[in-house]
Structure 1
Amino acid sequence: MADVGYIHHEQHLRSSDMISDIVIGMSDGLTVPFALAAGLSGAVANSSLVVTAGIAEIVAGSIAMGLGGYLAGRTEQDHYESERRRESLEVETVPEREKEEVREVFAHMGLSPALQIAVADELARDKTKWIDFMMKYELGLDEPDPNRATKSAFTIGASYVLGGLVPLAPYFFVTQPHQALLYSCGVTLLCLFVFGYFKSKVTGQPALTGAFKVMLIGALAAAAAFGVARLFG
């Protein structure tokens, strides 16, 4: 007997562009300044030097990461606009070939030949919707947010700053670099674990495995920087 009144809810976690930008900025922000602070802790005698160098790195890193996000967003927008102009030209100059491509898309969906022709002819009545269809189903391109580049730059840069201040914070309050490094390791590794956990949840990966992986990468980067600084110091 079929269930009556049962409502099926599908649970899908969709990762937005903003979440992706936060992940990019936060992961580098936690790891790079952490490694820098650890390296300097093995070579200097005062935490003020670590703070100065750390702030300089955070400023430079956030600008560089934000600029990278902006350029990536602009490239995506420019690529979409270029492909749309090409599709518009083809719709105007070779409409029958474009209709054939529409019919091929519907053929892959399992529609009958007669229905393929009917739908393609109906779609061709509105050139804007026709081009929209070709962009999405032939080229696999969705129209990007026109403000995507600016939003991406700000989100990545701000996430980098927020992440970078975590490993640097103990050096503001503890004058001895080696002692500050111990606090920095504890706080940063905990944050890396939490960050890796939620990052894995968002991307649909095993949460604990992802958390330990992100934490281990940060720990190895910091240990390598500290060891090199001590070696050459």
Structure 2
Amino acid sequence: MGGGPDSTAGINHQHANEPHGSGIATRLNWLRAGVLGANDGIVSVAAIVVGVAGATSDVGALLAATLAAVIGGAISMALGEYVSVSSSSDSQNALIAKESRELEQMPEEELAELAGIYESKGVSAATARQVALELTRHNALGAHLEAELGIDPNEVASPWHAAFASFIAFVAGAALPALAILLPAEGLRVPVTFAATLLALAGTGGLGAYLGGARILPAVTRVVIGGALALMATFLIGSWLGTSGIV
């Protein structure tokens, strides 16, 4: 009597603690990209402002350097992301258009190709053809794009959205070192910026590792050590420029 694992009540085998449905991978990729963008904002702006602080204590110079680093870095990140995603989406759209033409011009050949894909995965020839027929009736283009190319036409990224997200992520990350260098008293600017930057890097490194399913401690260690080396290098260079009278 019902109640077994194969009963009608148990048809839905999705686990409550596992993500299902379309768009999960895309959303995780966007989130990881946001974390990386914030990480870039933290490191690059912190390195610049610490270097300038090592050379001069002039607040005007620090403010100018901070604004230039934040605005220039954010625009550069957004532009790079726009170009990158534009190239990727153009390629995906070209493949979608090509597959659509092939379905219109040679539907039988495309049906056989789809069946062959499932057969190559271990499905019997009869079952593979039946699966191909049913998927074709439901959504021919979507079935072929997923099976042949691994593309979901509903998840082609927008270059403008990517650029905007990258811009915001960079500014969000850059805000911390920018405030840390400008708000404290002169003697505390550099140590406060060092501490705030390394703590922020530990957070973004840990979050990035968590989202990617990697070990958190090694990821945090790498990013914190790398950030500390960058800050020390720019501070030492700035201090040398300041004491040598070059600036």
Alignment TM-score, normalising by the size of structure 1: 0.85
Distance change (3 Å), C-alpha of 1:43 and 1:95: same
Q: Do 1:42 and 1:229's aligned partners in 2 also have CA atoms closer than 8 Å?
A: yes
Deviation at 1:175, TM superposition (A): 5.0
Indicate the residue corresponding to 1:150 in structure 2: 160
Q: Which has the higher contact order (CA 8 A, sep 6+)?
A: 1
Q: Report the CA distance between 1:183 and its aligned residue.
A: 0.8
Amino acid at match of 1:28: D
Distance 1:109 1:10 in 2: 28
What is the aligned counterpart of 1:181 among 179, 190, 194?
A: 190
Asked if residue 62 in structure 1 is aligned to residue 70 in structure 2, the reply is: no
Identity percentage over the alignment?
25
Partner of 2:226: 217
SS at match of 1:42: helix
* Distance in 2 between residues matched to 1:163 and 1:125, nearest whole Å: 48
Moved more, 167-176 or 217-226: 167-176
Residue aligning to 2:124: 112
The answer on 1:83 being equivalent to 2:92 is no
Structure 1's 86 and 147: CA in aligned 2 closer, same or farther, altered over 3 A? closer
Q: In the aligned structure 2, how far is the partner of 1:114 from the partner of 1:147?
A: 37
| Mean CA deviation greater in 63-72 or 202-211 | 63-72
**d(CA) in 1 for partners of 2:160, 2:115:** 38
With over 3 angstroms needed to count, the CA separation of the structure-2 counterparts of 1:71 and 1:12, relative to structure 1, is farther
User: Where do residues 97-176 of structure 1 align in structure 2 (5 Å cutoff)?
Assistant: 97-125=109-137, 129-145=139-155, 148-174=158-184, 176=186
5+ long unaligned stretches in structure 1: none
8 Å Cα contact 2:62/2:182 also seen in 1 = no
Question: What residue number does 1:198 align with?
Answer: 207
Query: For residue 58 of structure 1, what is the amino acid of its counterpart?
Result: V
Instruction: Determine the C-alpha separation between the residues in 2 that align with 1:120 and 1:198.
Output: 40
The CA deviation at 1:36 is: 0.4
Quote the RMSD (CA, aligned, Å).
2.8
Q: Which moved more, 1:13-22 or 1:108-117?
A: 13-22
Paired residues in the alignment total 229
Unpaired runs of 5+ residues, structure 2, are 243-247
Q: CA deviation at 1:76?
A: 3.0
Structure 2: how far apart are the matches of 1:18 and 1:153?
11
